[in-house]
Chains A and B, each alone.
Chain A
């Protein structure tokens, strides 16, 4: 009962914050709403027993990426007068259509999954979701190569950004 209460609280908050992200005119408000929605997601991960993912969600998204977003917003000093306002161009309609389709697919998929069998929480490994297990999964065998490739990709992106930003190195 208590868990359900927490779940519904955080899911309602997450959806509300998500709606705030796209309805606020002020860029900084949108960013803060996004942080709030990350928080609600993190608390859901924590309730699912995935503490590591929950903490990383906050550490990486809320603590690092969104800080840089807000940094940029502060430096550019985006104000409401820079906001183009609502316009119903064909592009916007297409975007809304595709977004709606994706949302519908996810909803249908999730509804179908309801009928599938779930693993009850007490049948999980005692070590489920711990850093140790995630480490073993990531660094042994199957996911090792993708993991290394992704890290190389990130390094390439950083180097690329530096090269683009600096005319002379």
Chain B
């Protein structure tokens, strides 16, 4: 395999991984949004959709949702300006996915020389960077790409030829342009403090110590920059309390009023994809990205067997807890009611034989419902056992003898740390949405221009003062002898 081919194939694999990473979290977030909203409003939330009675806490709900959106009629209103109207949801979605390409999701995988030479045709070991594009100015790239997100919404609003949509589009354009400035100010202070705009270098600085994480750098510059960035990220994602572009009380559904079927689904998914990307950028810039506190990549590699045992113990205990919760659900009064309830009156028209009968049973048969707790107890118990098995593998020192396995374990561990941070960020989005009311338009503009922008400018000044005092004093870690 030639060198160019290898580069291209690796790049393609990374692209697929990064798109899949974002797209896999999206349905999970839609579920979390519904369940989170239900939890905050003290109601059960989605719990009806099922496969043979297994409802999986409402997770199954997303499946028929997707099916519905795909199979609905794609209505094209006669008054829209077709080319741009069709382009708008595509822009929204692709911008969200493209931004993720500079975010590193792991340190690197070092494929050892003998394997790389044998299977990949390289000379010597091959270091695979776990980031699609390690461009100089990665931070600016993120700013540039998020600034493009406004096109999707603006074009959707304009080309719908509808007052409400147009107003939604106008609002969003004004809002995003205003908050981009505040976001930019936050980022400028950060890259002054880090002294680089390359995200991989930023990650290396943060890997040194937990005191080097973005929020703690040159206090209070890091904290202020984080608050500015995070608030602006809410505005850029058009999430509550900044969701005026769709403000359903005033604007029907704002810019996506005229969209149906999969085009609407694209806008819907783009919102969640933007949340994932915003959380991952925040995690990368301010919370050490894939770094685990107090444990860096070199330490993980040195003590790989211990790491394996720790993962086994931690994961095993977690799944044991999950098992006990699932087992405890057997006393759920719902199951007793299901036992007493002999099912709905038989439908005389229901097909009983052939493929139709099978489909009907699959969709309407609820008999597995009583056994749901058994299924989940078995799944979680299996996972717990598998994790306890890892302790044994660690004790047998399996991983330390195999360099590639070591690299993969380190990669998975760090990826998990990253995912935990990203998911927490996403949960913050959901939490805030169901807690705070929406801003009024003038309040929104006041916050952006009169408070966040000046604070951002002062923050840059503070960062400059820190640099002037001592280029290294900004790092608490370096300041402590």
- The CA-CA distance from A118 to B154 in the complex, in Å, is 43
Chain A 1-22 residues near chain B, CB threshold 8 A: 1-2
The reply to whether B147 and A63 form a contact with Cβ atoms under 8 Å apart is: yes
Count of inter-chain pairs, beta carbons less than 8 A = 81
Q: Does A151 contact B (CB under 8 A)?
A: no
Residue A70, interface by CB 8 Å: yes
Residues of chain B with a CB closer than 8 A to A70's CB = 151, 154-155, 158, 173
Docked-complex contact B143 and A75, CB < 8 angstroms: no
Complex CA distance for A71 and B169, rounded to whole angstroms:
9
Q: How many residues belonging to A are interface residues under a CB distance threshold of 8 Å?
A: 27
Who on chain B is nearest to A80 by CB? Answer: B81
Which chain B residues numbered 11 to 68 have a C-beta less than 8 Å away from chain A? Answer: none
Known: A2-B4, A74-B154. A28 touches B84 (CB 8 A): yes
Assess whether B83 is interfacial by the CB under 8 Å rule: yes
Q: Is B87 an interface residue (CB 8 A)?
A: yes
Q: CB distance A55 to B137 under 8 Å?
A: yes
Type the 1/0 row for A29-62, where 1 means its CB is closer than 8 Å to any CB of B.
Answer: 1001001000000000010000110011011001
Contact with B along A62-78 (1 / 0, CB 8 A): 11100110110111000
Docked-complex contact A74 and B157, CB < 8 angstroms: yes
**B166 on the A face (CB < 8 A):** yes
CA distance A58 to B102 in the complex (A): 15
Tell yes or no: B136 within 8 A of A by CB.
yes
Nearest Cβ distance between residue B188 and chain A, in whole angstroms? 12
Given A28-B155, A51-B135, A67:B140 Cβ within 8 A: no
Cβ distance A73 to chain B, nearest Cβ, rounded Å:
8
- C-alpha spacing A29/B83, complex, angstroms: 8
For A1, A26, A63, A68, the residue with the greatest tally of chain B CB atoms inside 10 Å of its CB is A63
Closest-by-CB residue of B relative to A74 is B158
**Are the CB atoms of A55 and B144 closer together than 8 Å?**
yes
Q: Is the CB of B136 within 8 A of A28?
A: no
A39 closest partner in B (C-beta): B148
Q: A63-B147, A63-B148 are in contact. Are A71 and B4 (CB under 8 A)?
A: no
Given contacts A28-B81, A32-B84, contact A131 B148 (CB under 8 A): no
Pick the residue among B136, B143, B166, B170 that contacts A51 (CB under 8 A): B136
Contact B151 A59 (CB under 8 A): no
Q: How far is the CA of A74 from the CA of B157 in the complex (A)?
A: 9
Task: Write the chain A residue with the least CB distance to B158.
Answer: A74
Check B399 for interface membership: any CB of A closer than 8 A: no
- Within the complex, what minimum Cβ distance (angstroms) separates B163 from chain A? 11
Q: Is the CB of B170 within 8 A of A52?
A: no
- Do A74 and B173 touch (CB < 8 A)? yes
Q: Of the candidates B136, B143, B148, B174, which one forms a contact with A52 in the assembled complex, judged by CB atoms under 8 Å apart?
A: B136
Query: A52 and B137: CB pair below 8 A?
Result: yes
CA distance A63 to B83 in the complex (A): 21
**A28-B159 in contact given A51-B135, A56-B140 (Cβ < 8 Å):** yes
For residue A1, give the distance in angstroms from its CB to the closest CB of chain B: 8
Checking A2, A32, A67, A130 against B150 with a beta-carbon cut-off of 8 angstroms, the contacting residue is: A67
Residue with the greatest number of chain B CB neighbours at <10 A, chosen from A46, A67, A130: A67
B238 at the interface (CB under 8 A from A): no
Q: How far is the CA of A35 from the CA of B147 in the complex (A)?
A: 13
Does B386 interact with chain A (Cβ within 8 Å)? no
CB distance from A146 to the nearest CB of B (A): 22
**Interface membership of B141, Cβ < 8 A:** yes
A2 to B87, CA, bound (A): 28
- Bound-state CA distance A68–B83 (Å) is 21
Q: A26-B81, A28-B84, A75-B170 are in contact. Are A67 and B136 (CB under 8 A)?
A: no
**Option from A55, A64, A73, A130 in Cβ contact (under 8 Å) with B141:** A55
Interface string of A123-157 (1 = CB under 8 A from B): 00000011100000000000000000000000000
Most buried by B among A29, A46, A74, A75: A74
Which listed residue, B87, B148, B170, B177, touches A62 by the CB 8 Å rule? Answer: B148
In the assembled complex, which residues on chain B have CB atoms less than 8 Å from the CB atom of A1?
4
Q: Mark B182-219, 1 if CB is under 8 A from A, else 0.
A: 00000000000000010000000000000000000000
26 contacts between A and B (CB under 8 A): A28-B81, A28-B158, A32-B84, A46-B135, A51-B137, A55-B137, A56-B140, A58-B144, A59-B140, A59-B144, A59-B147, A62-B144, A62-B147, A63-B144, A63-B147, A67-B150, A67-B151, A70-B154, A70-B155, A71-B170, A74-B154, A74-B169, A129-B136, A130-B136, A130-B137, A131-B137
Known: A2-B8, A67-B154. 15 other contacts (CB 8 A): A1-B4, A28-B158, A51-B136, A52-B137, A62-B147, A63-B143, A63-B147, A67-B173, A70-B151, A70-B154, A70-B158, A71-B170, A71-B173, A74-B157, A131-B137
